[in-house]
Amino acid sequence: MNNHLSQSRPLSPFGIEVTASAASSNVEQVGASQLKMWMSHHRYVLLRGFAALSTDSLMELARSLGEPLEWEIRRRERTCRQSDAKNYIYTTAAVPFHWDGAFVGKNSPLHSLLLRGRPAL
């Protein structure tokens, strides 16, 4: 990866935060191999300040990292806040980082990659 694209710092108790050096930096420029290396080494990767990705580009990035988890209805969920939400997905309240067992029985180890910000629509 080109060091001029981002800066990184370790998170505690585990993980890494990678911040784009410029708002025009694109996470796709980081490359799937670098993202996979970070996920393998740190388990949790928080990406901040990168240019927004379209839904199609975000799905392409996800596929370059592995097979996206197939939910009952579709691979991605469009979420809208609801004041009367019955679960974390649609809540207006704070949601703690959690693991709810959705990956039990999957062949690959659990890794997390979080892009902070909204994808472009």
Chain mean pLDDT for the chain: 77
Is the backbone peptide bond immediately before 96 cis, with ω within 30 degrees of 0?
no
Helix then strand count (H, E) for the chain reads 3, 4
Q: Tell me the pLDDT tens digit for each residue of 12-43.
A: 998 999 999 888 888 999 999 999 999 999 98
Sequence ranges of the domains in the chain: 3-115
pLDDT for residue 47 is more than 80: yes
CB atoms under 10 Å from CB of 5, counted, come to: 18
The three-state (H, E, C) secondary structure of 37-93, written as one string: HHHHHHCEEEEECCCCCEHHHHHHHHHHHCCCCCCCCCCCCCCCCCCCCCCHHHCCC
pTM, two decimals, is 0.67
Q: Please give the structure tokens belonging to residue 42.
A: 């740190």
Question: Binning pLDDT at 50, 70 and 90, where does residue 104 land?
Answer: low
What is the average pLDDT across 83-108? 68
Q: Tell me the pLDDT tens digit for each residue of 59-75.
A: 899 889 887 766 555 54
